[in-house]
Amino acid sequence: MWNEKRPSPPVDRGSAVGLIIFVLGVGTLLPWNFFITATQYFNGRLTEKHNSSSNSSAAPVKNYNYDSWMALLSQLPLLLFTLLNSCLYQHVRERVRVSLSLVSILLLFTLTAALVQVHMSPGAFFSVTMATIWFINMSSAVLQSSLFGLVGLFPPRYSTFFMSGQGLAGIFAAVAMLLSILSNAESSSAALGYFITPCVATFATLFFYLLLPHLEFARFYMSRSADHETARSKELLETAGVKAKELEAGVAMKMEGDGQRLSVIAVFKKIWIMALSVSCVFAVTLSVFPVITVRVQTVYENEAWAKVFTCVCCFIVFNVMDLVGRSAPSLVQWPRKQSRLFPAAVFSRVVFVPLLMMCNVPGSKVHVLFRHDALFVLLMALFSFTNGYLASLCMAYAPQLVRGRDAETAGSLMTFFLVLGLALGASLSFALGSIV
């Protein structure tokens, strides 16, 4: 039997494996957060007037709508390659997928850092930046999906380390931007230092990933997983009376009654409220963050505060409160999964769209109702907390609505609808950005 003489797992000395998995979690969301936090730098490069080589007249400034395009071209490859990664699982080893993804991200961030010192026309810079965003997020999709599978080999608490790392990635990027602003360095030097930071962090992520199999604790779970699952499946198949040749042919076990796995459609019918809810949560969030929120400006005339206002009140507040929201369900879970209040609470977040559009955006076509900085910070805090809290509840409740053997299917469906919500929100940001 597969559970006979089962060796005891070694000790994770100094929580070294936990720390590495935490670092891997940070590395998966660094690309998105570093590009979204640097929105002021990119918009500044794209709105600069440039002189024609043939005359001294300045070309007119074009609105490239960077924030909306950045959000859309970040989420589309994430959606597409999250789906396509299921094919890569069968043909490309996890070690190759993760290593190539990290190397690609490192090279693309190096290119972004190098372009800080290169003079380019706004049109050319926009094209190169959008291509970079597409390919970085393409690699991130493969990286994130592969690492979720890797972390699933370890005990459940290691998934918490991974998710905590993801939650801190945004704070890491926002603090890096704040430090680059406070350094009082020349703008190009500050931007160069900012983009070198994810290069170092990505290299560290690659180093720790390659180090992981050399640790006894990690090697125990990574090496025994395939043999363990094969042996366990064989025992279950023999118990059910399935012939050995069916096992060799890879024929799926068919059990009667309650033992039969549900189809994807059947699982969706059980979790559709949670699936649509998580899509709604992220569609609302991406529709206004960052395309609307980065346009809000302080009412004070203090130059030093104006320089850090967006970084502090938009990005740091959002990422800190989002992390608090993601952690809150471990203390309280309300509304309950069967309650009609739950979809109502999710849908009520739509109110944040007009509220944030009525903050202090200079030249806005919308009436400014919340002019003071404190009101904007309060709205951002509630907006980000509810994003993290309701999204975490959706992801936690969905597997509870199906039997244990269908929980994996439910999790895959929820991941798809989460990314779908991000893509929908990024698409909606174009229309909302044109209104403000």
Q: Which residue, among 64, 72, 63, has the nearest Cα to 35 in the 3D structure?
A: 72
Tens digit of each residue's pLDDT (9 = 90 or more) over 132-142: 999 999 998 88
Tens digit of each residue's pLDDT (9 = 90 or more) over 69-125: 998 898 888 888 877 776 666 678 889 989 999 999 999 999 999 999 999 999 999
For the chain, the average pLDDT equals 84
- For residues 363 and 288, is the Cβ–Cβ distance under 8 A? no
Average pLDDT over residues 257-284: 87
pLDDT value of residue 87: 65
Q: What is the DSSP string of 103-151?
A: HHHHHHHHHHHHHTTS---HHHHHHHHHHHHHHHHHHHHHHHHHHHHHH
Query: In which band, very low, low, confident or very high, does the pLDDT at 344 lie, cut at 50, 70 and 90?
Result: very high
Query: In which band, very low, low, confident or very high, does the pLDDT at 257 lie, cut at 50, 70 and 90?
Result: very low
pLDDT value of residue 252: 40
pLDDT value of residue 111: 95
Average pLDDT over residues 304-312: 94
Is 13-214 a CATH 1.10.540.10 domain? no
Average pLDDT over residues 345-360: 97
Query: In which band, very low, low, confident or very high, does the pLDDT at 430 lie, cut at 50, 70 and 90?
Result: very high
Query: In which band, very low, low, confident or very high, does the pLDDT at 61 lie, cut at 50, 70 and 90?
Result: low
* Chain centre distance of CA 317: 17
Query: In which band, very low, low, confident or very high, does the pLDDT at 236 lie, cut at 50, 70 and 90?
Result: very low
For residue 198, count other CB atoms closer than 10 A to its CB: 29
pLDDT value of residue 408: 64
Higher pLDDT, 379 or 37: 379
pLDDT value of residue 56: 44
Q: Is the pLDDT of residue 250 over 80?
A: no
Higher pLDDT, 119 or 351: 351
pLDDT value of residue 183: 85
Question: How far is residue 278 from each of residues 72, 293, 348, 403, 405, measured CA to CA in Å?
Answer: 18, 21, 13, 20, 22
Higher pLDDT, 163 or 433: 433
pLDDT value of residue 256: 36
Tens digit of each residue's pLDDT (9 = 90 or more) over 174-229: 999 999 888 877 778 888 989 999 999 999 999 999 999 999 999 988 875 444 44
Higher pLDDT, 203 or 55: 203
Find the DSSP H helices in 152-215. Answer: 157-182, 187-211
Query: In which band, very low, low, confident or very high, does the pLDDT at 282 lie, cut at 50, 70 and 90?
Result: very high
For residue 229, give every residue at least 6 positions away whose Cβ sits within 8 Å of its Cβ, in sequence order, or none: none
Higher pLDDT, 50 or 109: 109
Buried b (16+ CB within 10 A) or exposed e, 141-179: bbbbbbbbebbebbeeebebbbbbbbbbbbbbbbbbbbe
Question: How far is residue 418 from each of residues 22, 151, 218, 315, measured CA to CA in Å?
Answer: 22, 19, 29, 21
